[in-house]
A = this chain, B = another copy of it.
Amino acid sequence: MAPVYFTPGPAQLYPTVAKHLQTALDKQVFSQSHRSQAFKDLYRRADEALRALLQLPADYAIYFTGSATEIWERSLQSVTAANTYHLVNGSFSKKYLDHAKWLGRNAQALQVPFGQGFSLEQVQVPAGTELLAVTQNETSSGVCMPVADIHSLRERFPEPLLSVDIVSGAPYAALDFGKVDMAFFSVQKGFGLPAGLGVWLVNERSRAKAATLEGRQYTGGHYSLQSLHDQYQQFQTPCTPNVLDIYLLTHVVEDMLAKGVAQIRKETEAKAQQVYSFLEESARFSPFVAEKAHRSPTVLVADVLEKPAAEVIAQLKAQGLVVGAGYGAHKEKQIRIANFPAVSEADMGALVSRLRAI
């Protein structure tokens, strides 16, 4: 039996990836020009499928970049000149903040300790904020922000553009894109694809703000929101993109649509429930995130109580179950279990059984 990867990205490949890759090789898709009609048709198909899966409003556009990390930079360059505000509760929300500082923005943040989420009443966004950056799912700590809270942010702070990092939450997170302005993810997490592609979902309001900054500052050149949008209107990209990943994304999203996003969400919750129930009752593990409403259904972090986490990871690995280490300083004491659509209920059941036996 091949090992199953419960790692939070790169992760287990979606079960249909190998088949789609073979079809693409047979059809020589990766030799086709990225300026050809064949590529435009592929981009259009990716656009339609993602739009359907995520229920995107009509004014959204979908751009491709090299990574979600790049979108932190491009979003800040394209739609902000001065003031940003960040909700920071882990390493990835912190990196969005870092990018803003590197770019010389007046970047303010509400920071809470690692493992905690935000209560809405804590959040006060200063007037004049251009971009409010939130991380729907902190891959580092296993804390999520419930989508209802994100929607409330929009009601309470209608002025700034609301940018949502859904890197490790998509496609599970049932975000109402009508209540945010942009969101982004990379494909090696919930979509179960090889790494190397970022996907940026952007509404008209963001584009209007970007247009006011063009010519007044460096907005990202070839990779600015406006440049990406100019190309998008012909289903093209500014430079040669990762066509392989765009092809796989298109087909995997179509597979997900065939299964139904409601079913994927239901399965995700059932699998998460299996793990959290075990962690709650276990004497050897406990859920790291105390507040139940903030426990991520897609990246589950457990404290390992009686032995080094590395021992648990090694034991599981020997049984063909690959889980992630804790992030950064938490490496010694935590494991991370990704609960993405590529992992079946049976796989998760097997993992829980093995954890129970440790």
Contacts and interface: CB of A to CB of B under 8 A. Distances in A.
Interface string A244-265: 1100000000000000000000
A340 to B, nearest CB: 11
Interface residues of A, number: 53
- Copy number in the complex reads 2
Contacts of A188: 30, 240
Contact of A194 (B11, B103, B222, B244): B244
Contacts of A197: 196
A10 B243 CA distance: 9
A258 B31 CA distance: 24
Interface stretch (A61-69, A127-135, A204-212): A61-69
A10 B25 contact: no
Contacts of A25: 13, 17-18, 21
A329 interface: no
Nearest to A18: B25
Contacts of A34: 10, 195
A241 B240 CA distance: 16
26 contacts: A5-B31, A10-B30, A10-B32, A10-B34, A10-B240, A12-B31, A13-B25, A13-B28, A13-B31, A17-B25, A18-B25, A21-B25, A30-B195, A68-B239, A69-B222, A69-B239, A70-B239, A103-B221, A104-B218, A188-B240, A194-B242, A194-B244, A195-B241, A196-B196, A242-B242, A244-B244
